[in-house]
Amino acid sequence: MRGKLVVGNWKMYGGLAANAELLAGLVAGCKPRADRRVAVCVPFPYLAQARDVLSGSAIAWGAQDVSAHPPGPYTGDVAGSMIAEFGGRFVIVGHSERRQAHGESDVLVAAKAKAALATGLTPIVCVGETLAERDAGSWQAVVSRQFDAVSAALGRETALIVLAYEPVWAIGTGRTATPAQAQEVHAFLRRQLARTGAESVQVLYGGSVKAANAASLFAQADVDGGLVGGASLLATEFLAIADA
């Protein structure tokens, strides 16, 4: 039984005071449940704050990127061991905003996933097609290319990742994939996972998830939860999604 996982991606939002209020609201409202996990992935400077507030709560925390390298001369980068030292459990890799704005390649994303696992973090590997790619009928080719790079690098360790399907056209646009569209891609990804013996990997959906649409998305057979952007910045909204 795969269970559900709901992860908030704060992106580059937050501040000490706003975070304190948001985290306190999450701690107060998030009840532990055996069948689901909840986490937030925060900007690096707030990892210590997340640890201080969330330790002992039902909510795990993590980061939004990780270096492909162990500690060394890589100015501006953050090693997985540093995230782990602050109690981080998860790290997002290959988010489309990093693939696009930082030119991250499939190979680099795979190396980051490997580095995350090597430091005890669970990489949440994002895949997803652009609107042009969907309109061209090539979403299968895109998500399998992105996934294959990761499974080739990880081999049997692919079973240890979390996968997130984030159609680029649904991120921050208010335009959500329909439950049927999400299920179609998730079922496809599940078949890819099965080929590497990793069919029990959780596959999250991300892209304009809100309290109003979460239940219908999460009810799909192969949707194991969500990776939530904007709606994760409001405690009541995020908690409602986690409860969906």
Residues that bind ligand 13P (CB under 6 A): 9, 95, 166, 171-172, 206-209, 227-231
Which residue in 34, 47, 46 sits closest to 5, CA to CA? 34
Q: How far is the CB of 18 from ligand 13P (least distance, A)?
A: 17
Q: Give the active site residue among 97, 129, 133, 166.
A: 166
Mark whether 95 is an active-site residue.
yes
Which residue in 71, 24, 69, 16 sits closest to 43, CA to CA? 16
Q: How far is the CB of 118 from ligand 13P (least distance, A)?
A: 23
Q: How far is the CB of 34 from ligand 13P (least distance, A)?
A: 25
- Measured from the CB atom, is 95 or 190 closer to ligand 13P? 95
Q: How far apart are CA 149 and CA 166, in angstroms?
A: 17
Q: How far apart are CA 186 and CA 164, in angstroms?
A: 9
- Measured from the CB atom, is 36 or 95 closer to ligand 13P? 95
SS (H, E, C) 145-171: HHHHHHHHHHHHHHHHCEEEECCHHHC
Q: How far is the CB of 126 from ligand 13P (least distance, A)?
A: 7
Q: How many CB atoms lie within 10 A of CB 162?
A: 22
- Measured from the CB atom, is 137 or 174 closer to ligand 13P? 174
What residue is closest to ligand 13P based on CB?
A: 229
Catalytic amino acids? 95, 166
